[in-house]
Amino acid sequence: MPDSICPVTALIRQLEETLHAGRMANPWNRRIIEEILDLLKDVAWGRAGADHLPAIKELAGSLRDEPLSTAGVETRRQVLAALAEHDEVFRSHVATHNCATRDCVKLAPAPCQMACPAGIDVPTYVSLIGLGRDAEAIEVIRRDNPFPWVCGLVCTRPCEFMCVRGRIDTPVSIKFLKAFAAERALSERRYKNPPQEPDKGQKVCVIGAGPGGLSAAYYLALKGYAVRVIEALPVSGGMIMVGIPRYRLPREVIDREVAMLQELGVEFRFNTRFGSDVTLADLKAEGFAAFFFAIGCHSAYKMGMPGEGDFPQVLDAIDILKRVALGDRTVPGKKAVIIGGGNVAIDAARTCLRLGSEEVTIAYRRTRSEMPADEEEVEQAEEEGVRLAFLTIPTGLTGVAGRLTGLQCLRAELVRKEGSSRMSPVPIADSDFVMAADVVIGAIGQRVDNSCMTGLQGLEWTRRSTIQVNMVTMETSIPGIFAAGDAVTGPATVIEAIGGGKRAADSIDRHLCGIPQPKMPPVPVRRGRVEYFEIPASTKMVLKRPEMPLLNIDRRRTTYQQVELGYSENDVREEARRCLRCDICLRCGKCVEVCRDKMGVNALQLGYFDFDHPVKTDFRITAERCITCGACAANCPTGAMQIEDREGERILSLCGTILNRQKLLFCDKCGATLGPARYLDFIRKKTGAVGPVSTDRRICDACARKESAKVNVDIMPV
Amino acid sequence: MVFRRGQRVEVFRKSSDEGWESYMDEYVGAHGIITDPDTSINDPDQLVEVSLEGKGTHRLPQDCLRPLVE
């Protein structure tokens, strides 16, 4: 069986082929195979329950030997082998209602959900938000991510990069919708924890209260474990608390969502450093049965410039961000230069402005297009007055009497080096200059501070100095010790850490329950199939992603107030209506093909179907050409395309987007539905050669037969 | 190659980097979008986050990726 075909679909096809080929002579066996097929189709369509797989096994075991062939034995072996070999996939179909290969068409996950490292069911919660059911949306999100409000403000949103709507105009603003729903649900006191499983009587220790650690703690607490979180800092949140400035993520947001963990009984021990304040042996002696490390990347790389150690005014960006997050408001210097081009450099620069630095410059070796920081963050920094010095290579520091006065730099040009496709900055000879500075802040990357873990014998590290884990289970080289977050991936995203924490919680649960670990990464779980709302094609096309209102520029330059003020409720509801519901339409293109190639109508201009080469999409075109024949709907494997007669009209819709509505005509004699005029004209044109219509009256086939029979009897006497 | 956020890429080969795991073999040939490049210093040695169409989001070594012509 090729790996690329879903084993569930493959088994269905094999059994259907066995039946159709007539290989099974014994009627008992034929009935059993039909029953197995029914159950397998339930699995493939997301309707199966816990009893389905055992029932299939039992039925397969009851297949009898065929009198004249080995078909019965072979089929039994085939079914049992498929179930044994792909047990994980079959169970995943039942549990997740998603088929990652998309062969089981009704279970094809939406691209946004597949893209989310935590596997959040985006179409479901966006639809719920569109319906005004914010608290339910938050419940859906928290099945996979305990921090919807945090992520609604700071997520790097891979979902939006894969959003299919982006192939038409701009992606749905998934991130901000999430933030709105979380804020509204909290404000209405409808942001609740789900019920916990009964106490399992075992304790798990989480080291690190960052997003990865907190995510693991949340899911472990829900699974019934007693969880203690150890944190070296005096606050929870890790990098989201001390690495992300308050103007992007207010502290209250973190505190409110962390408080939900405390409500579940998660115990926090702050100002407790693993390795010095408490050791693995101490914790084991206290009865902890498993450990999860999410210690983050809190050490800055040194810049390696001459003079770096000579001046106290040379700082690390993450140190300054941490100090400010913990309440320090000392102005670092009047003229601040930040070295680096990532988000941390931008955060440090904008923080310096807010602290009172008069001139803030970011020195970056390459150009704007190579800058790894978020484009929006860069734009906002420039609006606030941060200067960007591109193609600038820092080479040293100058100062007088131990006090920094400037940063020595060289101008650079980008050159393609031999044997490399990468453009590298090369210094231009004699271009050296000094950039005036009384503080220089390095933001060139972070690494794991592994000093706290030196006592863990047998723990393996990667060549990038991150913890080596099995990325499927997040288990380290030491049994019973798991890890995730930046300590495993290197500096990465909040949502990756949350996803890793959730995965680790599942693996820890399996480890403690003695259940075998999975062999492949988890498939995201479909949390629902919300009905879609109707929206005219023209509205679907003209709705535009709203602009995010921002705090006024003076406050942005002087305070830590949140810069992004959030969408209005109306914007949120309208934005949710832009979603294409890719959880239902898998963009297979059968509707387009049948309309264009079989019917010759070509009414569907759905250019967004192709990932690599999207072309123009216009839902409004359909109404101009469509004859409402229904061939597209009849050939749609998922029910995304629907045609129905309602209130005197025939309506064609794609996931609720009304592509065409035509007035229905009725039989003049009996009142039966004939179809819209355009459809009847199309049929008449196709059948015109067979026989002309004798009158202008519109009558149905049955009445026409009666009339012509009467005429024939009248004119053709027997 | 310096990868940018939002850039379309192809996984065109396996990587010998230790960050490549056996389950990733099936990603060869997949197309996707860079969602989180190396966020600090454009280090070609760092893993980058890529959303692969239909295959989820993964952190992959850069030597197995090449940009798709847009």
| A374 touches B: beta carbon within 8 Å | yes
Beta-carbon contacts of residue A695 (< 8 Å; ≥ 6 apart)? none
Nearest CB partner across the interface for A369, out of B4, B38, B56: B4
Set of chain A residues whose Cβ sits within 8 Å of the Cβ of B54: 100-102, 111, 114
Q: Which residues of B touch A (CB under 8 A)?
A: 1-2, 4-6, 8, 18-19, 21, 23, 26, 31, 33, 35-47, 49, 51, 53-57, 59, 68
Write out chain A residues lying below 8 Å of B22, CB-based. Answer: none
Query: Of A469-473, A531-535, A696-700, where does mean pLDDT reach its minimum?
Result: A696-700
Residue A237, pLDDT score: 95
The answer to whether the beta carbons of residues A599 and A631 sit under 8 Å apart is yes
A367 contact B CB<8A: no
Q: What is the dihedral of CA A151, A154, A160, A166, to 10 degrees?
A: 140
Task: Determine which helix (DSSP H) or strand (DSSP E) holds A410, and give its type and residue range.
Answer: strand A403-416
ipTM score: 0.90
Position with higher pLDDT, A343 vs A362: A362
Element (H, E) at A30: helix A27-44
Closest by Cα among A162, A179, A177 to A112? A162
- pLDDT for A710 equals 65
Closest by CA position to A107, among listed A523, A533, A633, A592: A523
pLDDT band at B1 (very low <50, low <70, confident <90, very high): low
Nearest CA in chain B to A488: B19
Specify whether the CB–CB gap between B33 and B7 falls below 8 A.
Answer: yes
Distance from CA of A112 to the nearest CA of B (A): 9
When computed from its CA atoms, the radius of gyration of chain A, rounded to whole angstroms, is 32
Burial of B63 (0-12, 13-18, 19+ CB in 10 A): middle
**B-contacting residues in A 156-195 (Cβ below 8 Å):** 156-158, 161-162
Angle between helices A122-130 and A569-576 (to 10 degrees): 130
Can you tell me the distance from the alpha carbon of B5 to that of A526, in angstroms, rounded to the nearest whole number? 28
**By the 8 A CB rule, do A385 and A557 touch?**
yes
Contact residues on chain A for B43, CB-CB shorter than 8 A: 445
Res A2: pLDDT: 39
Tell how strand B31-36 and strand B47-52 pair up.
antiparallel
pLDDT above 90 for A450: no
Question: Does A490 sit within 8 Å of B46, measured CB to CB?
Answer: yes
Are A116 and B53 in contact (CB < 8 Å)? no
Q: Which residue has the tokens 């380290």?
A: A476
Tokens 């299939």 belong to which residue? Answer: A56
User: What does the mean pLDDT of chain A come to?
Assistant: 91
pLDDT tens digits, one per residue of A152-208? 999 989 999 999 999 999 999 999 999 999 999 999 999 999 999 999 999 999 999
What percent of chain A stands above pLDDT 70? Answer: 96
pLDDT value of position B4: 80
- Write the DSSP symbol of residue A106: G
Chain centroid offset of residue B67 CA: 9
Per-residue confidence band for A695, with pLDDT thresholds at 50, 70 and 90:
low
Q: How far is A90 from chain B (nearest CA, A)?
A: 18
Q: How far is A172 from chain B (nearest CA, A)?
A: 15
Q: CA-based Rg of chain B, rounded to a whole angstrom?
A: 11
How are the residues of chain B apportioned to helix, strand and coil, as percentages rounded to the nearest 5?
15, 35, 50
Element (H, E) at B11: strand B8-11
Check if A700 contacts B (Cβ < 8 Å).
no
The b/e string for A644-664 (b: 16+ C-beta within 10 A; e otherwise) is eeeeeebbbbbbbbbbbbbeb
Rounded Cα gap, residues A255 and A596, in angstroms: 56
- Model pLDDT for residues A273-322, shown as the tens digit of each residue: 999 999 999 999 999 999 999 999 999 988 888 888 889 999 999 999 99
Share of chain A above pLDDT 90, in %: 69
pLDDT digits (tens, 9 = 90+) for B7-53: 899 999 999 888 888 888 889 999 999 988 875 555 677 888 998 88
Residue A1's pLDDT band (cuts 50, 70, 90): very low
Q: A161 vs B51: CB contact, 8 Å cut-off?
A: yes
Of A147-156, A250-259, A328-337, A442-451, minimum mean pLDDT range: A442-451
How many Å apart are CA B1 and CA B19, to the nearest integer?
A: 18
Is the Cβ–Cβ distance between A423 and A414 less than 8 Å?
yes
* pLDDT value of residue A104: 85
Digit-coded pLDDT (tens) for A658-671: 999 999 999 888 88
Q: What average pLDDT does this structure show over A204-230?
A: 97
Q: Rounded CA gap, A649 and A646, in Å? A: 5
Strand partners, A413: A426
Type of residue found at A458: G
- Phi then psi for A514, rounded to 5 degrees? 75, 25
C-alpha span between A420 and A224 (Å, rounded): 53
In angstroms, the Cα distances linking A608 to A90, A588, A616 are 31, 11, 7
Determine which of A112, A155, A162 to mutate to test the interface with B (most B C-beta atoms within 10 Å). A162
Question: Does A44 score more than 70 pLDDT?
Answer: yes
Task: Tell me the nearest-neighbour CA distance from A55 into chain B, angstroms.
Answer: 30
What average pLDDT does range A629-656 have in this prediction?
94
CA nearest to A451, candidates A286, A681, A599, A275:
A275
Question: Which residues of A, range 17-46, sit inside 8 Å of B by Cβ?
Answer: none
Helix residue ranges per DSSP H, A296-436: 317-325, 343-355, 375-384
